[in-house]
Structure 1
Amino acid sequence: MSSAADSASAGHVAGEPPLWLPYYRAPFGAAIRRFFRKYADFSGRAGRAEYWWWTLASVVVHLVLFVVASLISGDWNRAGTGDIGVISSFGIVSLPTPPDLAHAGAGAIGAWGIDLLANAFALGTFIPGLAVTWRRLHDVDRAGGWFFISFIPLIGAIVMLVWTVSSPQPGGARFDRLPAAAYVPRPVA
């Protein structure tokens, strides 16, 4: 059995479940904190809130960086600039080619810097994005390897969407490190 002292040593905030349990109905800040604390942890489960709050945060960061780069460069059609594609946690990210410094204005150079920042963010969050998706699949009682179904065009995306919005399944507890009954929550002061 786990004790309150064991829970305290797990490094979680009072009122939150330990990191080895899913945090259902996690608020935004707690979900993002757990995302980074469990950076490359593919074991256990992740509740819908943990997964979807991170997905929202990631999309917003990418959108803001795109808008800033487009405003700086004045070019809203930034997709076809001869970039090299790389798979990120949310699709294809293009690695920007450096602008021709002899002919590029300050806006193009600034936008290139923002594009590099966006790609650094995408690559830096690729592993934890994959891990939270893996844990979300565990919560709906699917092995994490089912993630690869998302590579099937259209059908895979639909299946992954259905699974990630689904309610947790009791069978998903088999992916927990310890049984949930072993967790004794600390009283909130």
Structure 2
Amino acid sequence: MSAYSNAMSRYFGFSGRSTRAQFWYYHLVLLGLAVVGIIIDAAISGGQPLVSALIVIAHYIPSLAITVRRLHDADISGWMALLCLVPGIGVIAFILYGCLASTPGPNRFGHGDQVAPYSTGRAPTAASLPSAASNLDRLDKLASLRASGAISDDEFQRMKSEVLAIGAR
């Protein structure tokens, strides 16, 4: 659910990167919402797509944005997302984009460390930040990870406490 909320909080955010997990979890939640919308439509309007149409319209821009960020994560121009709109090959392009491997480390679209917590499946710790960095640099790095959505506010607070504890020694 955090991948969905992350994507929705970056509604018009076409810059940066999104991992495979973020891409697929967002679309899984969107599929669930669409099914619920179809069920509601069948119950209240005899199958006329009212609620489901609103769901699709509300999610059009975030879906396009997360697809562009997914392409950025693979170091591909976001303009390639337009292939998803071509009848016949659009579904194939969508699936391929979702399966592309992430570019390790930074690329021309952003830093790989912004997406590392999702790609490794583990939350970062204060110790995982570069050891050569000063505490101020570590706190700046944590703030940028939180701003990008790579870590939650709770993770940010926990890691900030760890950094401050390390600095107190």
TM interval, shorter chain, is 0.5 to 0.7
Q: What's the counterpart of residue 136 of structure 1?
A: 70
Q: Give the alignment of 1:1-189 within 5 angstroms.
A: 29-70=1-42, 72=43, 110-111=44-45, 115-170=49-104, 173-176=107-110, 180=113, 184-185=141-142, 186=156, 187=159
* Greater strand share, structure number: 1
In structure 2, do the counterparts of structure 1 residues 114 and 64 end up closer, same or farther at CA, with 3 Å as the change threshold?
farther
Residue 35 of structure 1 and its aligned partner are, at CA, apart by 0.9
Please, what TM-score do these two structures have when normalized by structure 2? 0.61
Residue 179 of structure 1 and its aligned partner are, at CA, apart by 7.7
In structure 2, do the counterparts of structure 1 residues 115 and 152 end up closer, same or farther at CA, with 3 Å as the change threshold?
closer
Structure 1's consecutive aligned runs of 4 or more residues displaced over 4 angstroms after TM superposition are 178-183
Residue 43 of structure 1 and its aligned partner are, at CA, apart by 0.3
Give unmatched runs, 5+ long, in structure 2.
114-129, 131-136, 143-155, 162-169
- C-alpha contact (below 8 Å) 1:42/1:134 kept by paired residues: yes
Residue 125 of structure 1 and its aligned partner are, at CA, apart by 1.3
Give unmatched runs, 5+ long, in structure 1.
1-28, 73-109
Residue 164 of structure 1 and its aligned partner are, at CA, apart by 1.3
* Greater helix share, structure number: 2
- C-alpha contact (below 8 Å) 1:141/1:172 kept by paired residues: no
SS of 1:173's partner is coil
Q: Indicate the structure whose relative CO is greater, using CA pairs within 8 Å and at least 6 residues apart.
A: 1
**Distance in 2 separating the partners of 1:57 and 1:126:** 14
Which string of whole-angstrom CA distances, capped at 9 and with x for unpartnered residues, describes residues 89-129 of structure 1? xxxxxxxxxxxxxxxxxxxxx22697322211211111111
- The number of equivalent residue pairs is 122
Larger radius of gyration: 1
In structure 2, do the counterparts of structure 1 residues 172 and 59 end up closer, same or farther at CA, with 3 Å as the change threshold?
farther
